[in-house]
Amino acid sequence: MRRKRISSRDLRLLVIFIGIVTVVTSGVAYRTLNPPPSEQFFAMWILGFEGLAQNYYPDDNPNLAVGEELNWTLGIYNHMRSIQYVVVRVKVLNSTLVGPDDLTGTPSPITPLYEFTRVLLDNETWSIPFIWNIQNITQRGPMSMLSGLLVNQIPFNGELAMAVSGFNYRLVFELWFYDQTKNDLAFSWREDDSYRSVWTQVWFNATTPSIT
């Protein structure tokens, strides 16, 4: 019986092939077990009526009257490559009160009006309905004091913010997250020798006393 023997040329080809396949398969296995790092970020946005990035105010008029309802949706997206404990802090400011600072990564020093808290999985998006209206404005000479807000059917009363003639109030939404190394909530994190923080704001005027 004639035995089929592999030629030395074919053997060499086979050895080269096995080498290449081993290297390629090992590389694929390594990449599967250790995926390459991608950019880490949070995203936050506010949508107006009908979930669009427009029509934030009734009739596109930022001069809001007492009792006029605004229906917004707040969105948060987690792309930090891990689960995150996030807190959205809502603050009422005027144009002169200190807001958050991107450069220094510091939040606004104003006490939050309200907080939304949730644990987000990686790549998860969280939509928060934010339905609000002004409940009360108090006049103090040329100044208007915003003294009552209703957010998601929860009333907030007190001296919330003061503005000249009721112009240039703003609702600031700050995104905080639980930093396990600091064992506390943090507003910003360092990346590429700079601070990263996530916040957004919408301006409005409270110049009209009530709905006509």
Partner 1 sequence: MIHLSRNNLRATFLIGFVLAIAVLAGLATPLAKTQTSGDITALSHEAFSQISEVYRVGGQAPELVAKLNAALDLIGQARLRRSQGDETGAAQLEQQARVEILDIMNEVPSAHQKAQRDSATKTFQIIGSIPLVVVLSTCIFYAGLRTWRWYEKTKLFEMRIIEKKKD
The footprint of partner 1 (CB under 8 A) covers 10, 13-14, 17-18, 21-22, 25-26, 29, 32-33, 82-83, 85, 115-119, 121-122, 154, 178, 180, 183
Q: Would you say 118 or 196 has its CB closer to partner 1? A: 118
Minimum gap (Å) between residue 152 Cβ and partner 1: 10
Minimum gap (Å) between residue 26 Cβ and partner 1: 6
Q: How many CB atoms lie within 10 A of CB 99?
A: 19
The answer to whether 202 and 46 have CB atoms below 8 angstroms apart is yes
Q: What is the DSSP letter of 41?
A: E
The answer to whether 64 and 134 have CB atoms below 8 angstroms apart is yes
Q: Which amino acid is at 97?
A: L
Q: Would you say 114 or 203 has its CB closer to partner 1? A: 114
Q: How far apart are CA 17 and CA 132, in angstroms?
A: 67
Q: Would you say 26 or 127 has its CB closer to partner 1? A: 26
Q: How far apart are CA 19 and CA 6, in angstroms?
A: 18
Q: Would you say 65 or 87 has its CB closer to partner 1? A: 87
Minimum gap (Å) between residue 28 Cβ and partner 1: 9
